[in-house]
Amino acid sequence: MNNPFVITGDIPEQYFCDRREESGKVIRTLSHGGNLCLISPRRMGKSKLVRHCYNKPEISSGHYTFYIDILHTSSLREFTYVFGLNVFETLHSQSRKMLMAFAQGLKSISARFGFDPVSGTPTFSLELGDISRPEFTLTEIFGCLEKADKPCVVTFDEFQQITRYPESNIEALLRAHIQHLSNVHFVFAGSERHLVSEMFFSSARPFYNSTSILELRPIATDEYIPFVCHWFQARQRSVSEEDARSIYRLFDGNTYYMQKTFHEAFANTPQGEACTLETLRATINDMLEEASDVYRQLLSRVPERQKELLYAISKDGKAQKIMSADFIRRHALASSSAVQSAARKLLDLDMLAVDDSTYFIPDTLLRMYLNRLRKPDQTFL
Ligand SMILES: Nc1ncnc2c1ncn2[C@@H]1O[C@H](COP(=O)(O)OP(=O)(O)O)[C@@H](O)[C@H]1O
Ligand SMILES: [Mg+2]
């Protein structure tokens, strides 16, 4: 029997929880020719929301849809490379006519196109090194989408990554393209708040005021708790509302960690039985255990001053005035300037986040892991 709490791959419609309003906004914006910036901490559900909207008839029936995750890219050349490959692959499955147009339009890398005489379709073998003039190739890719016989939707996921490219004019370059495209609409999804919000909210930056903004919040408890209880029940199992709520609170509504918890807990609850607090505790211990290799690696590269600050903030949960004498004394930290520079580094690494001058560790499981390092007998539920 399949597990209703899906944590990998596409989420079938019935197992996709809520996001009705958000989907509505995404679909409305795109189908009226606008662009959208989608922003939230990691694992709140941005990528799945985009996929979900792509599958809705309003989008799927009248658009070509492209989805490109650029987290692993580190230059404009690599950006162009993954974008080009993705457009080819997507068109390969969506439109033969467009595929031919694409093969003819990309003059700067025309040598990489071939023709498979058996299937009668173009082939494409592109290496990163083939792209010698990325700005050129990029113009050609956009040009091809602009001329498509249906409007195109392009999602660049983890878009904040472009701020790390060595080239200095990337934002202006992309913005200039986007401004001139009327047949291509964009979703820019980003996880690192300090980078994304500067890019889109600061009037000095090219992307300022160029998109609608959707900040993805946790799924509301009123939606999520009944969703959990419903699926346990539908599969002849049960979980109490109160316990489901404790999990929600524990992870601050982080979609992935809640889904992961219930996925495992569901798997460990035999048919006809109840998922108890004990089951949930054991599940969380397993999750901490499973993550510990990655977290230990991560922490092994964090210098001591930064780690002290991480411990301090994980202890407080939400920390205010971290440069104040009181905070420094309470947590035995070195000095306010040391805290300031440690905080800056941790923010850059995305291990720390700040919202309305309240600091917190955005990865809720890491927060718990740190708390357990400080106090090994700590229980969480
Ligand atoms: N609406 C939803 N219903 C059920 N599970 C969801 C939903 N949105 C996200 N998830 C779960 O959360 C995980 C993280 O979502 P994802 O879209 O990858 O987050 P992000 O892109 O913001 O980092 C998914 O793997 C899935 O398990
Ligand atoms: Mg994502």
Q: Residue 22: CB partners within 8 Å, gap ≥ 6?
A: 49, 214, 216
- pLDDT higher at 192 or 327: 327
- Closest residue CA from atom 9 of ligand 1: 45
If you average pLDDT over every residue of the chain, what do you get? 94
The runs of H, that is alpha helices, within the chain are 20-31, 46-54, 57-60, 76-94, 96-105, 134-146, 170-180, 193-201, 221-234, 241-250, 255-267, 277-300, 304-316, 325-330, 336-348, 364-374
274 and 329 housed in the same domain? no
Residue at 367 is within a domain: yes
115 and 248 housed in the same domain? no
d(CA 317, CA 347): 16
313 and 282 housed in the same domain? no
201 and 86 housed in the same domain? yes
Residue at 222 is within a domain: no
- pLDDT, average across residues 373-378: 88
290 and 311 housed in the same domain? no
Phi, psi for 60 (deg, rounded to 5): -65, -35
User: 247, 272, 294 — which closes off a domain?
Assistant: 294
State yes or no: pLDDT of 176 exceeds 70: yes
State yes or no: pLDDT of 179 exceeds 80: yes
Phi, psi for 319 (deg, rounded to 5): -115, 130
pTM of the model: 0.93
- pLDDT higher at 4 or 121: 4
Share of the chain above pLDDT 70, in %: 100
- pLDDT, average across residues 296-325: 96
Residue at 11 is within a domain: no
Q: Residue type at 376?
A: P
Q: Which pLDDT band holds residue 115 (cuts at 50, 70, 90)?
A: confident
- pLDDT, average across residues 187-194: 91
pLDDT score, position 8: 93
66 and 137 housed in the same domain? yes
190 and 241 housed in the same domain? no
Pairing assessment for the beta strands 358-360 and 319-320 based on DSSP bridges: antiparallel
Residue-wise pLDDT for 315-374, tens only, equals: 999 999 999 999 999 999 999 999 999 999 999 888 999 888 999 999 999 999 999 998
Residue at 53 is within a domain: yes
Range of the domain at 318: 302-374
Ligand whose nearest atom lies closest to the CA of 256: 1
Residue-wise pLDDT for 20-76, tens only, equals: 999 999 999 999 999 999 999 899 999 999 999 999 999 999 999 999 999 999 999
User: 294, 321, 347 — which closes off a domain?
Assistant: 294
Torsion sign across C-alpha atoms 335, 337, 342, 347: positive
- pLDDT, average across residues 99-124: 85
264 and 171 housed in the same domain? no
Paired tokens of 274: 């109840």
Ligand whose nearest atom lies closest to the CA of 71: 2
State yes or no: pLDDT of 194 exceeds 90: no
177 and 32 housed in the same domain? yes
242 and 355 housed in the same domain? no
159 and 60 housed in the same domain? yes
CATH code for the domain in which residue 335 is found: 1.10.10.10
- pLDDT, average across residues 269-289: 96
pLDDT score, position 103: 87
pLDDT score, position 192: 85
Domains in the chain, number: 3
User: 294, 316, 340 — which closes off a domain?
Assistant: 294
201 Rama sector, left if φ>0, alpha if ψ -120 to 50, beta otherwise? alpha
Residue at 112 is within a domain: yes
State yes or no: pLDDT of 281 exceeds 80: yes
Residue at 4 is within a domain: no
CATH code for the domain in which residue 41 is found: 3.40.50.300
210 and 236 housed in the same domain? no
pLDDT score, position 1: 67
Q: What is the 46 CA–ligand 2 centroid distance (Å)?
A: 5
Residue 263: CB within 6 Å of ligand 1? no
Residue at 227 is within a domain: no
Residue at 6 is within a domain: no
- Closest residue CA from atom 11 of ligand 1: 256
Q: Residue 84: CB partners within 8 Å, gap ≥ 6?
A: 106, 109, 126, 131, 137, 141
Share of the chain above pLDDT 90, in %: 82
Q: Which pLDDT band holds residue 116 (cuts at 50, 70, 90)?
A: confident
Residue 185: CB within 6 Å of ligand 1? no
Residue 47: CB within 6 Å of ligand 1? yes
State yes or no: pLDDT of 193 exceeds 90: no
Residue-wise pLDDT for 199-213, tens only, equals: 999 999 999 999 999
